[in-house]
Amino acid sequence: DSDRQILSNARIYTMDDQEPMVSALVIECGKIIRSGDQETIISQYQDSSTLH
């Protein structure tokens, strides 16, 4: 999807006690829709453009 991007290979602090640091985000239409580890995010959103 052209409106969806992945920000990966990063050290992202989430301020969430359950998952305080992640390595990837999915951004769609300017909003974060998912965060998690890089391998999982990239495999689930293969049709998105990836920013490193």
Identify the pLDDT of residue 42: 92
What would the DSSP string read from start to end of 1-52? -TTEEEEEEEEEE---SSS-EEEEEEEETTEEEEEE-HHHHHHHTTTSEEE-
Identify the pLDDT of residue 49: 84
With beta carbons less than 8 A apart as the criterion, state whether 52 and 23 touch.
no
With beta carbons less than 8 A apart as the criterion, state whether 28 and 35 touch.
no
Domain of residue 45: give its range.
4-51
Mean pLDDT, residues 36-52: 88
Residue 37's CATH number = 2.30.40.10
Identify the pLDDT of residue 28: 94
Domains in the chain, number: 1
Planar angle of CA 9, 12, 15, nearest 5 degrees: 160
Confidence of residue 50 (pLDDT cuts 50, 70, 90): confident
**What is the reported pTM?**
0.81
pLDDT in tens, 12-35: 999 999 999 999 999 999 999 999
